[in-house]
Amino acid sequence: MRRSIRFKLFTYMLSTILIFAALLFVFNTFFAEKYYIHHKKNTLIAISKELEAYIEEYRQKSGKEADKEFFKEDTLVNKINSLEKKLGGTIVIGNDKGEVYYPAENIHGGMTSGPVHYDMRIPPTGKFEEWKRQDKDSFFMITKDPGYDINTLRYQIQREGGLILLIWVPMAEISENASLSNRFTFLIGLFTVLLTALLTLLISGKFTKPIKEMNDITGRMSKLDFSKTLQIHRKDELGELSQSINELSSALGEAIGKLSQDIDRERDMERLRREFVANVSHELKTPVFLIQGYAEGLKANIADSAERRDFYCDVIMDETEKMDALIKELLDLSRLEQGSFTIEKEQFDLARELKEQLDKYKKILDEKCLCLETDIEDNAVVYADRQRSGQVLTNFIMNAINYTDEKKRIKVSLKINAARDKAVFSVYNSSSPIAEEEFPKLWQSFYKLNQARTREATGTGLGLSIIRAIQEAQGFSYGAYNVEEGVVFWCDFHIDI
Query: DSSP for 149-191?
Result: TEEEEEEEEE-GGGEEEEEEEEHHHHHHHHHHHHHHHHHHHHH
Q: Contact 131/123 with Cβ under 8 angstroms?
A: yes
pLDDT tens digits along 175-208: 676 677 777 777 777 887 788 778 777 777 777 7
* Residue ranges of domains in the chain: 5-107+163-178, 345-494
Question: What's the pLDDT score for residue 125?
Answer: 52
pLDDT tens digits along 45-84: 898 888 888 888 888 887 777 777 787 777 788 888 888 8
Cβ neighbours of 337 (radius 10 Å): 15
Question: What's the pLDDT score for residue 164?
Answer: 87
Task: Please say whether the structural domain 345-494 has been given the CATH code 3.30.565.10.
Answer: yes
pTM of the entire predicted model: 0.44
| Cβ within 8 Å of residue 231, ≥6 positions away | 213
CA 79 to chain centre: 76
Q: Please report the DSSP string for 262-308 in residue order.
A: HHHHHHHHHHHHHHHHHHHHHHHHHHHHHHHHHHHHHHTT---SHHH
CA 330 to chain centre: 52
Helix (H) or strand (E) holding 219: helix 171-222
What DSSP state is assigned to residue 96?
T
Cis omega before residue 287 (within 30°)? no
| Cβ within 8 Å of residue 225, ≥6 positions away | none
Q: Contact 472/397 with Cβ under 8 angstroms?
A: no
- Three-class SS state of 51: helix
Q: Which residues of the chain have pLDDT under 70?
A: 1-6, 105-129, 145-149, 174-175, 177-178, 272-273, 275-286, 303, 325-326, 329-330, 332-341, 448-461, 497
Distance of alpha carbon 270 from alpha carbon 276, whole angstroms:
10
| Cβ within 8 Å of residue 316, ≥6 positions away | 290, 291, 294, 295
Question: What's the pLDDT score for residue 71?
Answer: 79
- Three-class SS state of 37: helix
Cβ neighbours of 302 (radius 10 Å): 12
Which amino acid is residue 12, in one-letter code?
Answer: Y
Q: Contact 55/94 with Cβ under 8 angstroms?
A: no
Q: In what order do the strands lie in the sheet with 138-145?
A: 100-102, 90-95, 163-170, 150-158, 138-145, 130-135
Percent helix, strand, coil in the chain, to 5, is: 55, 20, 25
Rg (CA), the chain: 59
